[in-house]
């Protein structure tokens, strides 16, 4: 049971976590902090948080659990600002999609309170933002990756694991480095590709006609290009090495595809398409079994 949860960032992820924990009876009080006062007031109206604070120090004071649910690029400053005001045994975690830069920021900011820090990442979300987009079942049956540091207290990691399990998630552990490599391939690369495709087509002379004929496949593939640009700017910069490697691999695949199309190599195209279809079908089948 969490006595006082300080939620730093009350949007889709933070708001959904608060809703899920309330439904599970796993939290007594939720304090919300964020830069947008209107969004925070709406969070109170919706019952997502009990009250709001307009200073970080007041938000985290006496909290036994602090969750950072802000863009990755702002977390270093937030960690530095809250460090002096954290309770001695407070547990701090985050929901960032990149763990390496956040772990480094925590080491620089938290000092002897680093033992209470548990980096985390829920593999869940939608392209929508804001507390009004939050819902309590967002994490049900979804994975949450924890990347405890060597300095992390086992009890702190256990409390964060229990929190996410109460929200309905399956919790797994990874190293910081492995997490960032895996997510560069499965999450970060697809977002960059979706953004690039939509932007390319939008800048064509006949873009209006092109989008007028966009069917379900285009909408499915590009849905994530409606995600928060600031968040994805921060993620792209924070995980630049791993993302850069994946972009180069994908560019090599595109070069091969260009050659196959230009040369009329139907056999190569069919082999590629069949291999991809088999992999995708297996993924869907596994998802349906879980």
41 and 159 inside one domain: yes
pTM, two decimals, is: 0.89
What mean pLDDT is predicted for residues 235-245?
A: 97
The answer to whether 94 touches 67, Cβ cutoff 8 Å, is yes
20 and 149 inside one domain: yes
In the sheet that holds 120-122, the strands lie side by side as: 120-122, 143-146, 170-173
Q: Can you give the residue range of the structural domain that contains 29? A: 2-174
225 and 158 inside one domain: no
Q: Domain boundary residue among 138, 158, 174? A: 174
What mean pLDDT is predicted for residues 94-118?
A: 97
39 and 61 inside one domain: yes
Q: What is the pLDDT of residues 127-144, one digit of tens each?
A: 788 899 999 999 999 999
Q: Domain boundary residue among 116, 150, 174? A: 174
184 and 244 inside one domain: yes
Report residue 172 as tokens: 């797994």
108 and 189 inside one domain: no
Q: How confident is the model at residue 126 (pLDDT cuts 50, 70, 90)?
A: confident
97 and 7 inside one domain: yes
CATH number of the CATH domain containing 123: 3.40.50.720
90 and 233 inside one domain: no
236 and 124 inside one domain: no
The helix-helix angle for 229-238 and 189-202 (nearest 10°) equals: 130
151 and 273 inside one domain: no
182 and 170 inside one domain: no
What mean pLDDT is predicted for residues 141-155?
A: 97
CA distance 151 to 166: 25
The total number of structural domains that make up the chain: 2
Q: What is the pLDDT of residues 12-26, one digit of tens each?
A: 999 999 999 999 999
71 and 186 inside one domain: no
Q: Is 18 exposed, middle or buried (0-12, 13-18, 19+ CB in 10 A)?
A: buried
């Amino acid at each position: 049971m969490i006595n006082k949860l300080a939620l730093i960032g009350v949007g889709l992820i933070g708001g959904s976590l608060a809703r899920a924990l309330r439904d599970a009876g796993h939290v007594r009080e939720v304090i919300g902090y964020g830069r947008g006062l209107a969004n925070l007031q709406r969070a109170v109206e919706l019952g997502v948080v009990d009250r709001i604070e307009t200073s970080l120090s007041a938000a985290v004071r006496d909290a036994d659990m602090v969750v950072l649910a802000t863009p990755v690029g702002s977390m270093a400053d937030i960690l530095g600002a809250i460090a002096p005001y954290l309770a001695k045994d407070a547990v701090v975690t985050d929901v960032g999609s990149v763990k390496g830069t956040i772990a480094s920021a925590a080491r620089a900011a938290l000092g002897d309170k680093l033992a209470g820090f548990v980096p985390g990442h829920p593999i869940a979300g939608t392209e929508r933002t804001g507390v009004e987009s939050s819902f309590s079942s967002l994490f049900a049956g979804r994975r949450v990756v924890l990347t405890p540091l060597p300095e992390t207290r086992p009890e702190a990691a256990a409390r964060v694991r229990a929190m996410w399990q109460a929200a309905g998630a399956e919790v797994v552990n990874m190293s910081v480095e492995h997490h960032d490599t895996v997510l560069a391939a499965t999450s970060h690369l697809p977002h960059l590709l979706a953004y690039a495709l939509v932007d390319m087509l939008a800048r064509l002379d006949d873009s209006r006609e092109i989008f007028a004929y966009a069917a379900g496949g285009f909408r499915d593939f590009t849905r994530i290009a409606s995600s928060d640009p600031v968040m994805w700017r921060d993620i792209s910069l924070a995980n630049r090495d791993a993302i850069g490697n994946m972009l180069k691999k994908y560019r090599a695949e595109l070069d091969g595809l260009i050659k196959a199309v230009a040369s009329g190599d139907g056999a190569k195209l069919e082999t590629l398409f069949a291999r991809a279809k088999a992999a995708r079908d297996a993924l869907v089948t596994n998802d349906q079994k879980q």
